[in-house]
Amino acid sequence: MLRSVLDNLRGNLVLSTSLVLLITYVVYTFIDYAARRRKMPPGPRGVPWIGNRHQVPSIKPWRKFAQWNREYGPVTSLFLGRTPVIVLGTAQAAWDLLEKRSDIYSSRPRFIMAGEILSDNMRGLMMPAGENWRKFRRVYHNGFHSRKADTYRDIQSLESKLLMFQLLHDPQNFEKHIQRYAASVVVSVVYGKRIDSVDEWIVKENMDAMSYMTSLNIPGKYIVETWPWLLNLPKSLQWFRRMPEIRRQRDIKLLTHLLGDVKTRVEAGTCPPCLAADALENREKMGISELQVAYTVSSPFGAGIETTAGTTLVFILAMLHHPEEMRKAQAEIDKVIGQDRMPEWNDVDSLPYVRAVINEAMRWRPVAALGGSPHASTSDDEYNGMFIPKGTTVFANLDGIMRDPGTFPNPDAFVPGRWLPGHPLASSHPRLQLDTFDLPFGFGRRICPGQHLAGNSVFINVTRMLWAYNFEPVDNDNLPDTWAFTNGSNSWPQSFPAKITVRSQLVQDTVEREWEAAKEALGRWQ
Ligand code: HEM
């Protein structure tokens, strides 16, 4: 009898102690959450443990972010689980934090599945700031800094001549031709070998690897991203590792094969100058392994193809909606160039209106809508009286930044004139001039290392397209939706129809002639 009373009491004691501990933990979590939240920049109310995760749409989150910035100010905070997040909604806030304080805002958040398990921390785009990432940037700086990027103008021009020829003979498949251009330039400048179709295995395999990688980066999909302590379990119990580890072996095989091919051609003296050959040559000096080189040079598959092609498609979409702007740009080209020769690189200074059209297309619908991958802070910080804790994930929400009326008055309108001095919407900010606009390429030490190469591609193609073709809607009463963009962190126009017609017989003859002359030169890159 006594024994059962004692057992009962003991049982109750354990139960009530557990209950007290649980309640204390819950109360503490609420108080801790409220305290952390109070010090941080304003933002939407969330709930402990999940934060605002349930309020962030998995599709096109940048639109919700922009709405929060309008409501709460240029620096808005939220929580994804227990991770603090800030969203920057103006160019000034992004410059202030990501550039002026780049020493503490240049890291990346942890990407456990995609960055650590799948890629063994080899993929630069996801690398935290540190020695390995600095080496990654050095490879890109050496390969694509402004003057070096200009050495790739030859191949870009040749590929662009092919694009003009394809638009002449198969205009309805313009999207495919533009993607082919972007893919071939990337493969050429990285591996010294061009491609004829986006269906070639080198593109397909790499794009497949990229899409598997992005499929791992969906917030909430993998529990280990929220509970990293699961990584302390014995490896055999970490069920989530199995597939990414298999895929890692496949990636390594692909990337080392591509690098091996470059090595063979370098040794045979048949490889044109390219990023992989440069990196191999400087590998020992930089202290990186061949595997690191193989991963490092593969980044443009994820970073440089869809972005370049998407920007060109945005330009065409804008032309369908703004024929008056197309005609102004064409008038400038006709005056400077005429129709019996193609625009060339050295025409750039004489074509301010064309460049204004390009800037405006990149502002109007930035393809890196969320600013590329988010940054992460590596120290506690304070900005305008607001506390930003170490480890905060930082989104520079380009879609919102480009539509901030304080920076770009009448932001929803497509107005190339705003990039020209004297226009009523022109900005006086030195960073927002015709030649200085680099917001589409991100910020600070993480700024896009391919920006000069990409800028050259967009310039030569847009200028030649305006010179050669008229872009019109197929159905004037039913124009393509200017908001119908793909999902995913890079976002470009969903397929749309366009009527592309050559502007004159003289232009047609020039396109044919230039392509004939280009064919032989392209052979060197085959
Ligand atoms: C119009 C075309 C392009 C746009 C709009 C674009 C935009 C961006 C943006 C916004 C970022 C993130 C910057 C940040 O974190 O603040 C980025 C990163 C990057 N881009 Fe581009 N990009 C383009 C083309 C290219 C090309 C052609 C290449 C290479 C050939 C390239 C290579 C990279 C790499 C390697 C990174 C990662 C840098 C790092 O994490 O340190 N991009 N790009």
User: What spacing in Å lies between the alpha carbon of 470 and ligand 1's midpoint?
Assistant: 30
Distance CA 510, CA 513 (A): 5
Q: What pLDDT, on the 0 to 100 scale, is given for residue 168?
A: 98
Q: What sign results for the dihedral spanned by CA atoms 484, 451, 436, 383?
A: positive
Domain contains 29? no
**C-alpha to C-alpha distance for 259 and 190, rounded to whole angstroms:** 10
Q: How many CA atoms, within 13 angstroms, populate the side-chain half-sphere of residue 379?
A: 9
Q: How far apart are CA 42 and CA 71, in angstroms?
A: 9
- How much distance in Å is there from the Cα of 145 to the middle of ligand 1? 13
- Domain of residue 369, residue span: 40-524
pTM over 0.90: yes
Ligand 1 neighbours by CB, cut-off 6 Å: 124-125, 137, 140, 186, 299-300, 303-304, 307-308, 311, 367-368, 371-373, 375, 440-443, 446-450, 453-454, 458
- Cα torsion 374, 378, 379, 382 to 10°: value is -20
Cα(67) to centroid(ligand 1), Å: 25
Please name every residue paired with 465 in a beta bridge, in sequence order, or none if there are none. none
Which one-letter amino acid corresponds to residue 135? Answer: K
Quote the pLDDT of residue 524: 77
For a pocket test of ligand 1, which of 141, 295, 307 has the largest count of ligand atoms closer than 8 A to its C-beta?
307
CA of 434 to the centre of ligand 1 (A): 20
- Hey, what are 519's tokens? 């064919």
In a domain, 34, yes or no: no
Nearest CA to ligand 1 atom 19: 448
Can you give the pLDDT at residue 1? Answer: 58
Asked whether residue 12 is domain-assigned, the answer is no
What is the pLDDT at residue 482?
98
Closest approach atom of ligand 1 to CA 275: 30
Instruction: For residue 472, list its beta bridge partners.
Output: 499
Q: Whose CA is nearest to atom 41 of ligand 1?
A: 446
Q: How far is ligand 1, taken at its centre, from the CA of residue 487, in Å? A: 18
Q: Which atom of ligand 1 is nearest to the CA of 299?
A: 35
Residues 6+ apart with CB under 8 A from 108: 115, 125, 126, 127, 128, 129, 373, 374, 375, 376
Q: Which residue of 441, 452, 462 sits with most ligand 1 atoms within 8 Å of its CB, as the best mutation to test the pocket? A: 441
Give the pairing type, strands 375-376 and 393-396.
antiparallel
Instruction: Give residue 454 CA to ligand 1 midpoint distance, Å.
Output: 9
pLDDT of residue 239: 95
Q: How far apart are alpha carbons 129 and 378 in whole angstroms?
A: 9
Is residue 286 assigned to a domain? yes
- CA-to-CA distance for 17 and 364, rounded, in angstroms? 60
Query: What CATH number corresponds to the domain at position 264?
Result: 1.10.630.10
Burial of 291 from C-beta contacts in 10 A (0-12 / 13-18 / 19+): middle
ipTM topping 0.95: yes
Q: Is residue 28 part of a domain?
A: no
Q: At what angle do helices 174-191 and 305-321 cross, to 10 degrees?
A: 150
Contact 179, 477 (CB under 8 A): no
Q: Which atom of ligand 1 is nearest to the CA of 440?
A: 5
> Could you give the CA distance from residue 111 to residue 97 in angstroms, rounded to a whole number?
22
For ligand 1, atom 7: residue with the closest CA? 441
Q: Dihedral sign, CA of 297, 443, 316, 161?
A: negative
448 annotated ligand-binding residue: yes
Chain-centre distance for alpha carbon 218: 16
Q: How many CA atoms within 13 Å lie on the side-chain side of 371? A: 31
pLDDT of residue 125: 94
Query: Which residues pair with residue 375 across a beta bridge?
Result: 394
In a domain, 21, yes or no: no
Cα Rg of the chain (Å, integer): 26
Q: What is the DSSP code string of 106-138?
A: -B----IIIIIIITTT--GGGPPSSHHHHHHHH
Ligand 1 centroid to Cα of residue 489, in Å, is: 12
Give CA–CA dist 499/510, Å, rounded: 21
Residue 31, in any domain of the structure: no
Length of the chain: 526
Question: In 10 A of CB 145, how many CB atoms?
Answer: 12
What is the CA(433)–ligand 1 centre distance, in A?
Answer: 21
Q: Of all atoms in ligand 1, which is nearest to the CA of residue 454?
A: 27
Segment-wise mean pLDDT, segments of 10 residues, the chain, 526 residues: 64 78 74 75 91 90 96 96 94 98 97 96 96 97 94 97 98 97 96 92 90 82 88 96 96 96 96 96 96 96 94 98 98 96 98 98 97 96 97 97 98 98 97 98 97 98 98 96 92 97 98 94 82
Residue 106 lies in a domain: yes
Residue 38 burial (C-beta neighbours within 10 Å; 0-12, 13-18, 19+): exposed
Q: Rounded to 5 degrees, what are φ and ψ at 384?
A: 45, 45
Shortest-distance Cα residue to atom 40 of ligand 1: 125
Give the type of residue at 403.
R
Nearest to 367 by CA among 450, 491, 496: 491
Residue 386's pLDDT is what? 96
**Total domains in the fold of the chain:** 1
According to DSSP, the β-strands at 393-396 and 83-88 are parallel
